[in-house]
Amino acid sequence: MLVSSRRTVARALVGLALLGLLATSAHAQRILYRPSPFAQPGQLPIPVNPNTYLAPNVTPQQFVYNSAAIGAALSTIPPYAMGYNPYPSPIVNTGPVIGGGYGLATTPGYSPYATAGLSTSPYGGYSLSTGGGYGGYGGYGGYGNLWPTSSFPAELHGYADLTRAQGQYWRDIQKARLDREESRRSSIDTMRKYDEYRMWWNSVRPTSLKIAAEESKLGLDSARNYASATDVWSGNALNKLLDSIVKSGHLNRGPNISLEDDTLKQINLTDGASGGNVGLLKNLRKLEDRLSWPPALQEAAFDEPRKRLETNLKLAVSQLRSKEPVSAAKLKDIQTDYNELNDKLNNSADEMSPAQYIEAKRYLRQVGQAVRALRDPKVMNHFDNTWNAKGKNVAELVDHMRKEGLRFAPATTGDEASYNALYNALRAFENGVQVAQR
């Protein structure tokens, strides 16, 4: 009852306001009289205003706009402010159903938003109810949609969007953290795999030590099986076998292979520091001894530097055998004669056959190694029997060279047969040591 009274008061207020506006504007309207098509004979014309004003300076279009503005303002007032309960208790309809709009009602009613509604409430439609009440689009019936542009749905949507945005924000934050942790885990996994790859690569990559070990192994295999004459005469094959025997550490397990004194006299040794070779000088025991010059270097064009060089070499060897060091002046003369002889050979290369030039160049290279050995402060060891090859068998020779830190030097002219004999003895001894270790 209270609700119905409040509705009636609201309608009356709106109607009085509109009547006041019309009464006020009536004085300012221009009145025209036009005959009415329905007028009786003798009846005065009906007054007509072709440009009526609803209020001072308010046209019908302006009034329509004002009405729309007032309606929009009223739509912001919630139903419960006007005394309506948007959540009434449900009412079970037990009477006859006549129907109206999209709802069901017992009596016809009026609803401006119903398509064909009948309801006991003037605001019925779109609902199931026997009486008035805030129902809207089904559920409580009667009231309909009086304020279709209410701000409450918009506000609720706004709060929902805000809540949804906040939830999405924190969800994105958590997802970003998970992505960051996944990135860190992937980075650690990548680092671990890189370390594993680096360790694997270090285990297989060809380092200098591995290359040296592989070359040593190949050289040892060559020395054991198929060493060439060049490898034997250069001392490389002999040194490979020597290193293998010394490394085994079991000299007493090898076979007893004897060595001839004449063979050992033709073997050249070095400590590996000076890079020289006194092989050509070991036969110069007396001043009347001579070097074995090749025929190409015995030509008249080489006589003068060759004779001076040979004489100075004999004097130097004589001093060393007397345990006297070679003077610096004598070494300078020897170096000067050697350079001159080497230059003459290079200038005469076109006058010689290839074989003659190669033979002369090889012999002169051996002379140069002897000159280099004379400059070594330890050169006297080659002439006092300290660095000579000695031993009754291979085991004694290897033991002597191990103690003195000696290596095999290249063979000089005339030493080839002795080097071949020693190579065969060393190979047999090394093979016996390897068999004894198995």
pLDDT interval class at 35 (50, 70, 90): low
Say whether pLDDT at 171 is over 80: yes
HEC secondary structure over 389-420 = CCCCEHHHHHHHHHHHCCEECCCCCCCHHHHH
What pLDDT, on the 0 to 100 scale, is given for residue 361? 92
**pLDDT at residue number 288:** 73
Q: Which residue has the tokens 């969800």?
A: 171
- Please name which of 133, 129, 132, 105 lies closest in space to residue 119, comparing C-alpha atoms: 105
Segment 300-313 mean pLDDT: 91
Judged by average pLDDT, the poorest of 30-44, 163-177, 339-353 is 30-44
Cβ neighbour number for residue 314 with a 10 Å cutoff:
19
β-pairing verdict for 269-270 and 407-408 = antiparallel
Query: What is the percent of the chain where pLDDT is above 90?
Result: 25
**pLDDT at residue 353 in the model:** 92
The stretch 66-79 carries a mean pLDDT of 69
Q: Choose between 85 and 231: higher pLDDT.
A: 231
C-alpha torsion angle, residues 90, 94, 99, 103 (rounded to 10): 20
Higher-scoring residue by pLDDT: 112, 230: 230
In the chain, where are the structural domains located? 2-76, 89-149, 150-205, 227-437
More confident residue, 217 or 246: 246
pLDDT digits (tens, 9 = 90+) for 189-232: 999 999 999 999 888 888 788 788 777 788 888 888 888 899 99
Does the pLDDT at position 122 exceed 70? no
CA 12 to mean position of chain CA atoms: 84
What's the pLDDT score for residue 74?
A: 65
pLDDT range class, residue 1, cuts 50, 70, 90 = very low
pLDDT 10s digits, 91-102: 444 544 444 444
The residue-averaged pLDDT of 294-319 equals 90
Q: 271: part of which helix (H) or strand (E)? A: none
Instruction: State residue 144's pLDDT score.
Output: 44
Long-range (24+ apart) CB contacts under 8 A made by 10-18 are: 10/82
First to last CA, the chain: 121
Beta bridge mates, 48: 32
Mean pLDDT over 297-317 rounds to 90
Q: At 80, is the secondary structure helix, strand, or coil?
A: helix
- DSSP-derived 3-state class of residue 110: coil
Evaluate if residue 286 carries a pLDDT over 50. Answer: yes
| CA 214 to chain CA mean position, Å | 32
Phi/psi-derived region of residue 235, left when phi > 0, alpha when psi is between -120 and 50, beta in every other case = left
The stretch 70-85 carries a mean pLDDT of: 65
231 against 130, higher pLDDT: 231
pLDDT at 12: 47
Looking at residues 122-133, what average pLDDT do you find?
Answer: 42
Distance CA 196, CA 276 (A): 49
Per-residue pLDDT at 147 exceeds 50:
no
- Per the CB < 8 A criterion, the answer to whether 93 and 85 are in contact is no
